[in-house]
Amino acid sequence: NGVRNGLAAELGPASPRRAGALRRNSLTGEEGQLARVSNWPLYCLFCFGTELGNELFYILFFPFWIWNLDPLVGRRLVVIWVLVMYLGQCTKDIIRWPRPASPPVVKLEVFYNSEYSMPSTHAMSGTAIPISMVLLTYGRWQYPLIYGLILIPCWCSLVCLSRIYMGMHSILDIIAGFLYTILILAVFYPFVDLIDNFNQTHKYAPLIIIGLHLALGIFSFTLDTWSTSRGDTAEILGSGAGIACGSHVTYNMGLVLDPSLDILPLAGPPITMTLFGKAILRILIGMVFVLIVRDVMKKITIPLACKIFNIPCDDIRKARQHMEVELPYRYITYGMVGFSITFFVPYIFFFIGIS
């Protein structure tokens, strides 16, 4: 993967630009291997590619769609993402295929090293998101199809190759993740419109959404012993439930209305300083609010769950590895994050006049 194993003594006083960054897993304490990078631009490119499947990207990407581009497309992208990622995480714990051995692989990142390997959920996300973006936007917005046909292979290959470069997956893991995603999209994509309409309009949609996502979370926690995939799965399900419930409340309050079908396809508005300034303002205000909600809910839910289930809370890392803490903490925290993205933040935008 373009790097060579090396000890600190071998590297000596080499500058940080010459050593692979060691991303630490805050839950397991693992760190990536120290390595000398022989191709720095390639290393940076694949670091960016792997971030396209991490939490930081998701917490910026989906709100940007919902707040600035097209709420309908944003909501339906989340529906597809939740489905693909949930099935991928559960399949990992059923197959139980270990990560590539090191040596010979150099593991530049170990954040997900405690999870199983087959299929690659990074590859699944990197396949599902660009394909779904094109499927959901072409015909709804006016743009040449060639743009989408260029985007899909570029995005997909960047994410997939980055996982091999980082030492996290084999080629077989990547191929399986790609093909599995195509199968999931072929089966479930025709129902995405129905699911989104149900989430917004059905009288009891919030109760059904919360119950279903919680049941799926409990099921996934019983598949195997603890790993970071347990928390990630609860986080994905909580985010999906929160976004769906928020869209239900927003729709019934009339805060965000989708354009009528008879005016499609939509033409992109001219980019002006006012439009650009409002978009930046929405992102800044929205993300500050979302991050505050996430931090507050985290500080509340972890000690509360520990107290309810009589789990020692002096070591947060160990406490979070208990299902009784991990599931409610992730589910409630990211459920509130999702609800904020589709209800609280749009309401703030409406109140201050930047909708």
Catalytic residue ranges? 122, 169
C-alpha 186: how far from its chain's center?
21
Dihedral sign, Cα of residue 256, residue 260, residue 266, residue 269: negative
How far is Cα 334 from Cα 16, in angstroms, rounded to an integer?
A: 34
The answer to whether the beta carbons of residues 4 and 38 sit under 8 Å apart is yes
**Which one, of 191, 214, 349, 236, lies nearest residue 284 by Cα?**
349
Q: How many angstroms separate the CA atoms of 118 and 173, rounded? A: 5
Nearest to 290 by CA among 355, 336, 244: 336
For residue 218, give the amino acid letter.
Answer: I
SS3 label, residue 35: strand
Concatenated DSSP letters for 245-297?
A: HHHHHHHHHTSS-PPPGGGPSBPPPP--HHHHHHHHHHHHHHHHHHHHHHHHH
